[in-house]
Structure 1
Amino acid sequence: MPNYWSTGQLAALTGLSIRTLRYYDQIGLFSPSLYTEAGHRRYTSEDMQLLLQILVLKRMHLPLEEIKEMVRAGNENLLDTLDQQISRVKAEIAVQEKLLSQLERTKQEAAKTENISFQELTSLFELIRLNRSDYFTNQQLDKMREHYRNTSDKALKQGEERFKELLEELKDKHEKGVSPQDKSVQNLAKEWQKLMETFSDGNQGLIKSAEKFYAENPQPALHYGLDGALYRYIQAALERFMM
């Protein structure tokens, strides 16, 4: 057994690249104990032991900066570091469990719809990811599911297409600077409102919950082209009908 190893030999023994070993040296994480007269790095058995410890810590997914601090501190902060890592792993597990739940629910919902498109699938996942239960009661969610189950695919598609058409027309009016009090805008807004009532089966509580959801979560709304500015424009056009 040699008394020391070159960078290439250490790389071969540990599976690390020479570039990685040099990087560790540059950041002060792991440096050789010896240098030849020509300036070549030489690693001792103590260096090898330290590197193996670093690799174990790296397999725990600890950041290099934390490993560096642990190496400097020795055993002083070991338990604190392990507690931090345990908390981090638990948080990651919670995120993955939530993702799994969202994927399973998305699959269940998507299975109810034939020929779901990629755009519809991603929109559906985004709705579930945002946890609609924060905005809708279980009764309201059941009401929405019942509506979709009892409405033909053709009627749903026609309704969604008209919904998008109305928003395009309203967006065009808005961009051209047409006043929300203009009769043409108010008529479009009123039709949009009636379509919303159709989707919600006339349940005003459900409509209010949906409005709150889309107002606070613009990303799903953008799937239909409904941004915050357009939403406020529509509401302004509907003001006289709400009085």
Structure 2
Amino acid sequence: MSHWTTGQVSKQSNVSVRTLRYYDQIGLLTPSFKDESGRRCYSEENLFTLEKITLLKSLMLPLEEIQNLLDKLSYREILKAHYNHLQEQLSSLQTSISNTTSLINMFDLEGELSWKRISHLVQTAKHNSKKWIEYFEDDEKDFLEQVLPSLSKSDRITQQYISLLRRIEWCQQHSILPESEAGYQIGCELIAVSNDTFDGNEELMNKFWEVRKMPSETTGLYPITDQSLEFAERCIIYAEQLLNKENE
């Protein structure tokens, strides 16, 4: 019959000797027998019970409640409870990651953020999130939710749009017109990334562009100034004109 001393169990389970002795003292986990040297030894069943105690402790249950539950819950029920707890933690972590990514992208877009600005953007996102969906059919909604850039994402498409918006703002600050070399480059990249995003569906692309130009309070989309949207539109028109001339 296999058996383990207190020290061996401590190393194997990563539970301190002091904790094991305390469990023994309160009757939560008592070693099954003593060996010839008088050392208290744990059986395989004891180790199984210790694993159940560890899982129940991870659920933030007090030892008294754990003691009451040990004989009432099967190992599968304990594992299921532990699984649900981990899922809750995972959901919380994913939300934290999403929120942190949003703040990073906001900073990349705006250069610097005051607490007032952060608070405004976060509250706007909470109350107006995805109102733009109302303007599309069900099949369009499913597609757009998968492909559209979002502040909570760090994917290639989102980063491209952030970079383009920063370049548009830079051109505006330096009085560079859309009908310029810089505007042409921006226009070409906007055409390419839009085709990539909408998979060449020009009708859906134009439909979303019209929604994009609506006030952010109405759509829940990240607020972009009318001037920046107009600049982007002129860049696209200018790029298309030059590209058409090249193809004539």
TM-score (norm 2): 0.40
Q: Which gives a bigger RCO, structure 1 or 2 (Cα 8 Å, sep 6+)?
A: 2
